[in-house]
């Protein structure tokens, strides 16, 4: 999709305020933002509007929290993750999205400010009215009977299962796309839609088939295959799979870039350990101090005090 032939990762050079504008800062929007930002795209998440998550008393079915988690802590962790990945979070309500003549979108927020983005991921739940000017209303919205009257809502069938729409650069994620209301499902769909966007960019940059997929994961350096370390071998692998219209120079360029991506995905044990430790500390920082101390064994606290040289408090 799209006419840009820039790098698969990194900003476009067309004067946008952000590469990706995500409308909605719930599980779907934050998950999508994490994936696009980690891929090197400047991402802004607009988070202000009605939220079903805030109406939840406690979240008890999100994988990884066996005792459940209160909603405010979950939201804080999700937003912290998005910011750590590189997203800019804006407390602003998007009122309208319009197509730009030369491609991309212009978003206007309730405070009267305008923002330009190459891509838009609509990840709000309740209201898709800000999309009204992008297509024929009959294509975007459906009318249904409810509580003795009629209501208009965004048509969940407008995007495909992976969030793509007939409008170049517009994607829809989460409940607005009909994926369901459960937070964990919305988050998974947000990630799926972001990967669709990234695949489309990579195809624009010249990749095809399996090489167009961007896998955001870290691998053990001990599992690294030698075949991609050999420049001649990686060109051979690309050329054996390349479409007929690709010449040797194009294959070499793409092969080198793809091999660099693979190299960056491997981490040594020390790096993996440091990142695991960082993750534990970030999680601990979001928890209540008293509850955290209550969960820690007293002997472990005494050992920490002894090993760090901190004077252990005495009781009168």
Clarify whether residues 169 and 29 are in a common domain: yes
CA pair distance 199, 195, nearest whole angstrom = 6
Strand ranges inside the chain, DSSP E: 18-23, 43-46, 88-90, 94-99, 105-109, 114-122, 141-146, 149-154, 170-172, 219-220, 266-267
Could you tell me if 163 and 186 lie in one domain? yes
- pLDDT, position 7: 53
175 and 150 within one domain: yes
Query: Is 89 in a helix, a strand, or coil?
Result: strand
Residue 133 within a domain: yes
The whole-number pLDDT of residue 147 equals: 78
- Out of 204, 234, 254, pick the residue that ends a domain: 204
| Alpha carbons 89 and 48: distance in angstroms, whole number | 10
Give pLDDT, residue 49: 62
In degrees and rounded to multiples of 5, residue 118 shows phi and psi of -70, -35
On whether both 67 and 91 belong to a single domain, the answer is: yes
Q: Are residues 190 and 75 in the same domain?
A: yes
Give domain status of residue 3, yes or no. Answer: no
Task: Give, for 192, the enclosing helix (H) or strand (E).
Answer: helix 183-204
The predicted structure's pLDDT at residue 306: 83
pLDDT of residue 310: 67
Domain assignment present for 38:
yes
Query: What is residue 10's predicted lDDT score, i.e. its pLDDT?
Result: 53
CB 86 within 8 A of CB 36: no
Judge whether 291 lies within some domain: yes
Tell me whether residue 6 is in a domain: no
Asked if 64 and 154 sit in the same domain, the reply is yes
**Residue 193 in domain:** yes
Judge if 45 and 146 occupy the same domain: yes
Shared-domain flag, residues 53 and 161: yes
Long-range residue pairs from 248-255, CB within 8 A, at least 24 positions apart, any chain:
250/206, 253/206, 254/206, 254/207, 254/211, 255/231
Give residue 224's Cα distance to chain centre.
Answer: 26
Q: Domain of residue 242: give its range.
A: 217-267
**Domain end (from 204, 235, 258):** 204
Does the residue 26 lie in any domain?
yes
> What pLDDT, on the 0 to 100 scale, is given for residue 5?
36
Residues 63 and 190 in one domain: yes
Q: What is the pLDDT of residue 110?
A: 94
Question: Which mean pLDDT values do the consecutive 10-residue runs of the chain (316 residues) have?
Answer: 44 78 96 97 88 83 94 93 97 96 95 96 91 94 84 94 97 95 95 98 93 90 74 78 85 86 89 94 89 83 78 52
pLDDT at res. 12: 52
- Look at residue 132 in the predicted model and tell me its pLDDT: 94
What count of residues does the chain have? Answer: 316
163 with 232, same domain: the answer is no
d(CA 127, CA 192): 21
E strand or H helix that includes residue 79: helix 71-85
Q: Is residue 212 part of a domain?
A: no
The helix (H) or strand (E) run that includes residue 285 is helix 269-285
Tell me the pTM.
Answer: 0.89
Number of domains making up the chain = 3
The end-to-end CA distance of the chain, in Å, is 72
Domain's final residue, options 165, 183, 204: 204
Residues 71 and 25 in one domain: yes
How many helices (H) and strands (E) the chain has is answered by 9, 11
Residues 225 and 277 placed together within one structural domain of the fold:
no
At 29, which CATH number? 3.50.50.60
DSSP summary character for residue 229: T
Residue 25 CB partners (closer than 8 Å, separation 6+): 45, 46, 47, 48, 78, 79, 82, 89
């Amino acid at each position: 999709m799209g006419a840009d032939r820039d790098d698969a990762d990194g900003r476009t050079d067309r004067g946008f305020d952000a590469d990706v504008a995500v409308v909605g800062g719930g599980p779907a929007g934050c998950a999508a933002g994490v994936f696009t930002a980690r891929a090197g795209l400047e991402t802004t998440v607009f988070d202000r509007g009605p939220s079903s998550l805030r109406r939840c008393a406690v979240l008890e079915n999100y994988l990884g929290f066996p005792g459940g988690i209160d909603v405010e802590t979950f939201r804080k962790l999700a937003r912290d993750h998005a910011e750590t990945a590189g997203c800019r979070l804006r407390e602003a309500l998007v009122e309208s999205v319009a197509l730009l003549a030369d491609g991309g979108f212009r978003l206007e927020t309730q405070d009267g400010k305008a923002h330009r983005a190459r891509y838009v991921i609509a990840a709000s739940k309740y209201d898709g009215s800000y999309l009204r000017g992008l297509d024929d209303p009959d294509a975007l919205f459906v009318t249904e009977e409810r509580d003795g009257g009629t209501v208009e809502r965004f048509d969940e069938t407008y995007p495909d299962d992976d969030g793509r729409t007939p409008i170049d650069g517009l994607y829809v994620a989460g409940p607005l796309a009909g994926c369901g209301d459960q937070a964990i499902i919305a988050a998974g769909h947000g990630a799926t839609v972001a990967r669709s966007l990234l695949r489309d960019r990579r195809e624009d940059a010249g990749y095809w088939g399996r090489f167009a997929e961007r896998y955001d994961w870290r691998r053990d350096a001990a599992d690294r295959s030698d075949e991609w370390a050999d420049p001649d071998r990686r060109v051979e692998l690309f050329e054996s799979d390349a479409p007929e219209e690709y010449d040797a120079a194009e294959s070499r360029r793409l092969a080198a870039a793809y091999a660099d991506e693979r190299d960056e995905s491997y981490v040594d044990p020390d790096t993996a350990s440091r990142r695991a430790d960082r993750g534990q500390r970030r999680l601990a920082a979001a928890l209540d101090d008293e509850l955290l101390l209550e969960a820690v064994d007293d002997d472990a606290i005494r050992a920490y005090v002894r090993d760090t040289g901190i004077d252990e408090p005495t009781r009168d």
